[in-house]
Amino acid sequence: MLISLIQQHFPEIEALFSEKSMDEFLSCAFENLYLYHFGLGTYIRNSLLKEGGGLLELFRQCGLHEKDEISHFIIELFYLHEKMNKRKPAKICRFSKKDAL
């Protein structure tokens, strides 16, 4: 339930990005997503994690209370979601039997 509620907000988050900024976001290494703490993270904390809001309350029921930690988790989930759904297909190498010999 929590993941599906988070995913409902992905179109709203995606709308914040231009095509170029989304490309930059997706080319960021996973371990460097902390760089989005003050921009995207601030938006998430102020808009999606409002006091009394359903999303924040669900996180609190799961034992997560710090908005900074929650917003980073949402950034990570959004990043993975976008990577899986927007990644360009890899080129497929095709070999003939004689190439393999």
pLDDT at 1: 72
pTM for the structure as a whole:
0.81
Contacts of 58 (CB under 8 A, 6+ apart): 1, 2, 5
pLDDT digits (tens, 9 = 90+) for 61-87: 999 999 999 999 999 999 999 999 875
pLDDT at 52: 87
Structure tokens at 9: 């907000």
Cα separation, 68 vs 70, in Å, equals 5
Cα separation, 49 vs 68, in Å, equals 10
